[in-house]
Structure 1
Amino acid sequence: MSQYYKYDFVGSFLRPAYLRKARAAYNNGELSYEELKLQEDNAIRDLVAKEKAAGYHVITDGEFRRATWHLDFIWNFNGINHQIERGNETFNGEVAIIDSVHIDGKISVDHHPFVDHFKFVQALCDEQTQAKQTIPAPGQFYAIFTGQDEIENTKQYYPDLEDLRQDIINGYTKVIEDLYEAGCRIVQFDDCTWGGFVNPQIASSLTGLSQEELPAYMDTLIDINNAVIDQAPDDLTINTHICRGNYHSTYFSSGAYDAVAPYVFAKQHVDGFYLEFDDERSGGFTPLRYIPKDKHVVLGLITTKSPFLENEEKVIQRLTQASEYVDPDRLSLSPQCGFASCEIGNKLSEAQQWKKLELVKEIASKAF
């Protein structure tokens, strides 16, 4: 079965109201984990049925077992302190309500629960579908703990950051081995680091580094990702998704890919790229020239940030423009990000969410 289709989606979906209510009850100590899991199981079965009915071939659990796209994965590593303290990241004027995360020991991983999450979805596949597992990129993991706000705490446990780098690589290698053993053949590295680095000012603010120091840091992030990818089985497809923030229909950063393309496009050993291109904040398609000729590109031309349905002809025109830099055989269409990178979700209804995916499929059937 092909690992790429002409229409696709990133991974997360709006949580049903009953599931959000159940998780809130669990967090308040009013519902047991077993009862919450039963609700999650039911919601995921229903979601997968809808994904199949919509004609999609690569399916996910919608990230229904997570509070956020990235932190739940990180919290399940040893050496991580999960504190309920709301973060202060600002997304276009809106403060994100997200728990914080800190290192409090050496990083390692035993049995990661995401492997069990994958197995549940895998069991729902049929001959027309295959499951993919979305996780934050290894470089994203490293960037969180070496950023300006966390570096001093991190150095208490990792005076030599090379040791942190190696422990992250080792942890990810084990998780990927376990996913592969469970039958996983598609992994997606979600990596918002590059969505921040497209803006040099934000890049310096996040890292505390000068503009002159940033290239070496970006190389480090790529090297971490590549070290994990290069140890993965040959028949495991590893893609990456890049966006500029997706919290409650707001964004974190703006800027074209030009500043990061020589790193993330040219040097990264992934098989394909899922890229945000839904509005002018992403710039033009020229940076796609850095993507090697053997990579697939999934263009996120449909926004998940609003219920507005894009004009089909204009999207097809943009696909034609992109084909000047990437062969049409290696192009696909998708939304620019998930519908609910965090549990709060974006500002559209579930019905509007499925209308968006119907539009993606309809445009792809005409364009390719």
Structure 2
Amino acid sequence: MPPFRADHVGSLLRPASLLRAREEFAAGKLPADELHAIEDAAIAEVVRRQEEIGLESATDGEFRRASWHMDFIYRLGGVTQADERMHVQFFNEDGTIEFDPPALRINSPVRLEETIFADAFTYLKSQVTTATPKLTIPSPSMVHYRGGRAAIDEDVYPDLDGFWRDLSAAYADEVSRLAALGCTYLQLDDTSLAYLNDPKQREMIAAQGGDPEHQHERYIKQINAAIDGRPEGMTVTTHMCRGNFRSSWAASGGYDFVAEALFTQLNVDGFFLEFDDERSGGFAPLRFVPPGKRVVLGLVTTKRGALEDKDQLKRRIDEAAKYVDLDQLSLSPQCGFSSTVEGNVLTQDQQFAKLGLIVETAREVWG
């Protein structure tokens, strides 16, 4: 059952052929059906590569998306792209990257109008031979965190409780529909729960008029409402990182602030956690993980191409096992390799070498 001893977050570097096709499509030089065929071929190849490496889960690399979350969120009924833009800062060893994505607006009741990513999942499922097909979608929290109360029309939702009810109901409907398509491994990607560990992010929430001390509890409640009706046999995990854009990040801080509520109250089957450097804090918050829950240690960075030392990975797994039983642990990269179409600063060969190292290390640790 997933999450597997060697697993991965989901997004993968787009091949050059796909990037060229997207540029040509955007310029009006390539028909939509030809782009779709190029996506199909790229996905079939990357699924084969994942299985050859020995991964027991396979994704489509998010090859049909430009962004890990907004391609999903904009397809929810009631959510539209605003004319104005947000201002987000990402950081790396060389300095700061300014990112100005479009803001979103909720200007009518939130609802599910279609099964989002239905065709994408169905094609992925048709391509796997040995691996379990895994679908990644943004968590409900991301619809709110992107703009907060200011993004939600007060004429539509004078009371935010109504917004949360509708949002969780739309997600619950999506989960049910995905299960009907044969999805047994679903991951809710959620940067907000990791961001809230950063005091600067909590200051931003306060400036927006939010409740920085309790917002993570609201998010946990709404995620639970979205997934509690999932059928038996569907594994739901969550992945939490502090931003991943062109090898840069947006927040820092260990999981200490959210840990107790997160691990004891969020009703997912497993947690993919970022632990690739000091910015992510130590393993002590894992002491709150209850028996039966799985923790996937994101020890292998996707932000740099240099390959990690296997013995060092094993030492870090041993360190984490001081706080949660070794049998509850797994290994993965700390994030996706390409959360947006631009991708992180490493090569395809380096990406697959890291995934291969994860498989090899997991076999030696857990058998």
The answer as to 2:104 corresponding to 1:101 is yes
- Contact 1:142 1:168 survives alignment (8 Å): no
CA offsets 1:182-217 (integer angstroms, 9 cap, x no match):
000111010000221111221221453679x32332
C-alpha distance in 2 between matches for 1:16 and 1:281: 30
CA shift at 1:245, angstroms? 0.6
The residue correspondences of 1:37-116 to structure 2 (distance < 5 A) are 37-83=36-82, 87-92=86-91, 93-96=96-99, 98-116=101-119
Cα distance 1:207–1:342, how it changes in 2: closer, same or farther (>3 A)?
A: farther
CA shift at 1:36, angstroms? 1.3
CA shift at 1:153, angstroms? 4.6
RMSD of aligned Cα (Å): 1.7
The answer as to 2:119 corresponding to 1:121 is no
CA shift at 1:337, angstroms? 0.4
SS of equivalent residue, structure 2 residue 14: coil
CA shift at 1:97, angstroms? 5.3
Unaligned residue ranges in structure 2 (runs of 5+): none
C-alpha distance in 1 between matches for 2:264 and 2:117: 30
- Contact 2:105 2:151 survives alignment (8 Å): no
CA offsets 1:255-305 (integer angstroms, 9 cap, x no match):
011111022222101000000000000111000011111100100000000
The answer as to 2:181 corresponding to 1:179 is no
- Hey, what does 2:360 align to over in structure 1? 362
CA offsets 1:307-362 (integer angstroms, 9 cap, x no match):
01111111111100101111111111100000000000000011111111111112
C-alpha distance in 2 between matches for 1:291 and 1:133: 24
The residue correspondences of 1:16-35 to structure 2 (distance < 5 A) are 16-35=15-34
C-alpha distance in 1 between matches for 2:205 and 2:112: 26
The answer as to 2:338 corresponding to 1:340 is yes
**2:3 aligned partner, one-letter code:** Y
- Hey, what does 1:251 align to over in structure 2? 249
- Hey, what does 2:295 align to over in structure 1? 297
- Hey, what does 1:5 align to over in structure 2? 4
SS of equivalent residue, structure 1 residue 258: coil
**2:351 aligned partner, one-letter code:** Q
C-alpha distance in 1 between matches for 2:84 and 2:339: 19
- Contact 2:115 2:178 survives alignment (8 Å): no
SS of equivalent residue, structure 2 residue 127: coil
C-alpha distance in 2 between matches for 1:337 and 1:187: 16
- Contact 1:73 1:136 survives alignment (8 Å): yes
Identity %: 38
Between 31-40 and 45-54, the greater mean CA deviation after superposition = 31-40
**2:303 aligned partner, one-letter code:** K
The residue correspondences of 1:102-251 to structure 2 (distance < 5 A) are 102-126=105-129, 128-146=130-148, 151=150, 153-206=152-205, 208=207, 213-251=211-249
- Contact 2:294 2:328 survives alignment (8 Å): yes
C-alpha distance in 1 between matches for 2:183 and 2:217: 28
- Hey, what does 2:347 align to over in structure 1? 349
C-alpha distance in 2 between matches for 1:265 and 1:323: 16
**1:205 aligned partner, one-letter code:** M
C-alpha distance in 1 between matches for 2:35 and 2:364: 42
**1:135 aligned partner, one-letter code:** I
- Hey, what does 1:14 align to over in structure 2? 13
- Contact 2:205 2:212 survives alignment (8 Å): no
C-alpha distance in 1 between matches for 2:268 and 2:359: 25
CA shift at 1:154, angstroms? 3.3
**1:292 aligned partner, one-letter code:** P
C-alpha distance in 1 between matches for 2:332 and 2:109: 38
- Contact 1:142 1:165 survives alignment (8 Å): no
TM-score normalized by structure 2? Answer: 0.94
